[in-house]
Amino acid sequence: MVNSLLNTWQRMLIIKPCCFCTGLVDPSELLANIEAQIVRVKEEAISRKEIMDRIDRWLSACEEENWLEDYNQVCKDFSFSFPVFIC
């Protein structure tokens, strides 16, 4: 998305700088377009960060679940090896 923003910027300003002089491009319209693209890119970045945060939480939960399963298995093995008698 950033590349497309830069490409738009290059097409409008670097390749065709005379567009402003001839009135083919309204500078305020161009600025509004660039600002809208910046807002959209920021929203997409926030969305991606939220997705990555959810994935990280899910992976942590999976690791914790695996650890608990291993711990429970060790406890079962230990209690089977060393029975406890309740009087």
Domain ranges of the chain: 2-80
CA distance 27 to 10: 14
What does pTM read for this prediction?
Answer: 0.52
Sorting pLDDT into bands at 50, 70 and 90, what band is 27? confident
Residues 6 or more apart whose CB falls under 8 angstroms from that of 18 comprise none
Give the largest CA-CA distance in the chain.
Answer: 100
What pLDDT score does 82 carry? 58
